[in-house]
Structure formats: C-alpha cells, structure tokens
Amino acid sequence: MTSCVMSILTILLVCGVSAANGCSLGWLTGPSGCYFLSRFTATWGEASSVCQGFGGKLAEPMDEDSYTFLTGSIHDRGQAGVQFSVGGSDMFVEGVWEWSSSGAKVMNNHWLPGEPNDDNNNGDCLTLHDNGFNDLECHSLHYFICEKE
Ligand SMILES: [Ca+2]
Ligand SMILES: [Ca+2]
Ligand SMILES: [Ca+2]
C-alpha cells in the first residue's frame, strides 16, 4: 500500500515538473506561450474541454509569430497536410471568424485557397494545416493544439 501511494506521488511529482523554459514536459515553448500538439483526435468541443482541463485553451495564433511557430511545429512533426483544431469559429455569425477567448478577429491572410468554404453549410470551426487555415464541421474529429501561459 505504501509503495503504491509512493508511486502515485512520484508520478504526480514527475508530471508536475516544468522544464527550465517554463513549459510543462511535452509542451513546446512558443513566442506567446506553451503549446501542446495532440496525438489523438477529438471534436472541436471535446478538444476545447481537454485544453481547459490542462489549464489552457485551444491555441489562438493571433499574430504572425505564433502562426509561423505553429505551422512550423506541424511541419517539423512530419504532419504536413494534417489539420489541427485551433480556437477560432464563425459559429455565432456566419462568415465572421473570431478567436473564442477574446472575440478578436482571425487574421484574414492565411486561409488555404478556396477557404473558408463553410463545408456542408456547416463549416464553423477553425483548423490549421502546416500552410494555412481551413474551416470544418465542428463535430468532425481532428488533432488539436492547446495553448497556455
Ligand atoms: Ca454556420
Ligand atoms: Ca461557417
Ligand atoms: Ca473548409
């Protein structure tokens, strides 16, 4: 029993350790925070909940530095062409793309060609490829990126 408790404590301690740069183990250090690229898929809403469970949110690359960092990270992982859910949507006003935490407008200059196309009249959630943004249906399953301070 004692060893079992000790093991759990050890795990908690190891998992709680932060790297010298201030980001938790398994998270990347980016220009405006720490980022986690998932290795499993979820709906946009589920992904948002997972990120909140980590004490963060779905990533919101609001400036060129964070956009470039995240697209580069996707590319570096060998996942060019794979799309990751990020924290923007037009679920409130069709065609008006906003970051969820602030309502700030999504940059207009990084949509993939032909996007946003409001897939099936229902493409209301934002995903990021290694080369641009796409809109997709919120209930479809994708990898995702979390962000925290
Ligand atoms: Ca819509
Ligand atoms: Ca839409
Ligand atoms: Ca689309």
Q: Is residue 1 part of a domain?
A: no
Ligand nearest to the CA of 136: 3
Per-residue pLDDT tens digits of the chain, which is 149 residues long: 444 444 433 333 334 445 556 899 999 999 989 999 999 999 999 999 999 999 999 999 999 999 999 999 999 999 998 999 999 999 999 999 999 999 999 999 999 999 999 999 999 999 999 999 999 999 999 999 999 99
* CA 113 – ligand 3 centroid, Å: 10
User: How many Å separate Cα 6 from the centre of its chain?
Assistant: 34
Q: Is residue 144 part of a domain?
A: yes
Q: Is residue 9 part of a domain?
A: no
* CA 116 – ligand 3 centroid, Å: 5
pLDDT of amino acid 29 = 97
Q: Is residue 7 part of a domain?
A: no
The dihedrals phi and psi of 42, each to the nearest 5 degrees, come to: -160, 165
Q: Is residue 8 part of a domain?
A: no
The answer to whether 19 touches 62, Cβ cutoff 8 Å, is no
* CA 140 – ligand 1 centroid, Å: 14
* CA 108 – ligand 2 centroid, Å: 14
DSSP state of 23: P
Q: Is residue 10 part of a domain?
A: no
Half-sphere exposure of 142 (CA within 13 A, CB side): 27
Q: Is residue 16 part of a domain?
A: no
* CA 20 – ligand 3 centroid, Å: 39
Q: Is residue 22 part of a domain?
A: no
Cα–Cα distance measured from residue 80 to residue 108, given in angstroms and rounded to the nearest whole number: 21
> Which CATH number covers residue 35?
3.10.100.10
Cβ neighbours of residue 89 under 8 Å, at least 6 residues apart?
44, 97, 98, 100, 124, 125, 126, 138
User: pTM here?
Assistant: 0.86
As for how many domains the chain has, the answer is: 1
> Domain containing 95: what range?
28-148
